C-alpha cells in the first residue's frame, strides 16, 4: 500500500473535531488511533543488549570485547547443535534474585521477563538477551531460529 494512495473516508473526515476540544479529540483518537499502519515486517530477532553502568571504569575496547564474547557464546554452537558454554571467559551472575513461578507458556514468560546478567568484577556491566518471535525455551540460536516461521512476531511497522 503506497502512502500516496491513502485518503481518509468522508465518514472519518466528518468525525474530526472542527476546533480544539480535548474531550472530542480524545474520543476521536480512542476510536481511530493516531496513525495508519502501511507496512509490517514479521519474523524473529535475537539481540544482546548491554549496559555499562556509570560507576564503571571499563574502557570502550573492554566493553566491545565483552560484547564480542557474549555474542560468540550466544550464537556459536557445537556439532550437536547445543550452545557452547564458556563460563571461564564469561563470568556472570544473574540479577534475577526473585524468581517467579510462571504457570503460562515458557516462551511467553521469557519474552515478558528477560534475564539480566551482570559481568565484570564490579558488576558494572549488565547484559540482557532478548528474543522476539519464535519459541524461546532456552535453546540454542539455531534451534530457536527454526521456530520463528511457526511463531513469528512483529519486528517493525511503517506508519503514516
Q: What is the pLDDT of residues 63-120, one digit of tens each?
A: 899 889 989 988 887 545 554 444 444 445 544 433 333 344 444 444 455 677 777 6
pLDDT band at 14 (very low <50, low <70, confident <90, very high): very high
Q: With 0.75 as the threshold, say if the pTM is over it.
A: no
Position 141 scores a pLDDT of 93
For 61-98, give one letter per residue: b (16+ CB within 10 A) or e.
Answer: eebeebbeebbebbeeeeeeeebeeeeeebebeeeeee
User: What residue spans define the domains of the chain?
Assistant: 3-34, 41-159
Mean pLDDT of 21-36: 94
Cell numbers describing residue 55: 560507576
Amino acid at each position: 500500500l503506497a502512502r500516496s494512495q491513502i485518503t481518509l473516508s468522508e465518514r472519518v473526515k466528518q468525525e474530526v473535531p472542527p476546533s480544539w476540544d480535548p474531550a472530542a479529540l480524545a474520543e476521536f483518537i480512542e476510536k481511530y488511533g493516531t496513525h495508519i499502519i502501511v507496512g509490517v515486517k514479521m519474523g524473529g530477532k535475537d539481540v544482546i543488549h548491554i549496559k555499562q553502568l556509570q560507576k564503571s571504569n571499563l574502557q570502550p575496547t573492554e566493553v566491545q570485547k565483552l560484547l564480542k564474547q557474549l555474542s560468540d557464546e550466544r550464537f556459536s554452537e557445537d556439532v550437536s547443535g547445543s550452545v557452547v558454554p564458556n563460563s571461564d571467559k564469561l563470568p556472570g551472575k544473574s540479577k534475577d534474585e526473585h524468581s517467579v513461578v510462571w504457570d503460562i507458556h515458557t516462551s511467553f514468560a521469557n519474552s515478558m521477563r528477560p534475564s539480566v546478567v551482570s559481568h565484570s568484577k564490579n558488576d558494572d556491566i549488565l547484559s540482557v538477551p532478548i528474543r522476539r518471535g519464535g519459541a524461546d525455551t532456552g535453546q540454542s540460536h539455531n534451534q530457536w531460529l527454526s521456530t520463528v516461521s511457526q511463531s513469528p512476531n512483529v519486528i517493525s511497522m511503517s506508519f503514516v
